[in-house]
Amino acid sequence: MQIPFYKYQGTGNDFVLIDNRQQKFPKNNTTLLAQICDRKFGVGADGLILLEQHPTEDFSMIYYNADGNQSSMCGNGGRCIVHFAAFLGVIDTQTNFMAIDGVHHASIQDDNVALNMTDVTHIETYKQHCFLNTGSPHHVEMVANLEDINVVEKGRALRNIHYGAAGANINFVSKIAEDTFEVRTYERGVEDETLSCGTGVTAVALAMFETQQTPLSKVNLKTQGGDLCVSFDKKEHTFTNIVLSGPATQVFNGIWEV
């Protein structure tokens, strides 16, 4: 069996994209999914995403972590699949698509994709960190020397000890300016630091506003893989009109032999 695939990246967060509208990909084969994502013996990716047909929306996004297990929403993956859908001719410049956390609207212009995220109604604030769900669960913690943090060691400890079996993504943050923050993220499922995390920078932007680290509703986020922007509105206790914007590009394509 030959499986055509496309490698994408969104600010260094990389994914294997597969057109599964004909339902030919063996998506219950966890071993195969993990093998394709393996950086030594496979294509190499933080996750694998299937584009499938949907009865009412333009398409469905089915996301798997690098460990082969289906996971919660991925913001950069969502931006990459919008680019992929445009490449396939499924959409033009605007789309509504279904993901695991509901319907998302997005727009694409050249290689820049703006993705509407789901509303956030609750942020848990503690002395040292915040916790919120932006489609995936996120721990947000400000640190003094971000470049010196051992993200893998500290992130893995927090992910496993503080959040139990389900785990959470761990974001470490430093403030650069009133509208700009630098972020490093440990992602569950990947079980490593990634160069960028879309739901993570979204969580950081909302947490920084909630804790009065910024008065602005448009925040720039610098990751090791590039720059992203998050804008939003807040009405009473709910964050609405949350938009994650940034680049998404196709890197290469190929055939996987099964």
Residues 6 or more apart in contact with residue 28 via CB below 8 angstroms: none
Q: Is 37 a catalytic site residue?
A: no
Which of 37, 130, 197, 229 is labelled catalytic? Answer: 197
Which of 74, 80, 130, 229 is labelled catalytic? Answer: 74
Compute CA 170 distance to the chain's CA centroid, rounded to the nearest angstrom. 13
CB atoms within 10 A of CB 258: 11
Residue 166 φ then ψ, to 5°: -65, -35
Q: Is 74 a catalytic site residue?
A: yes
Active-site positions read 74, 197
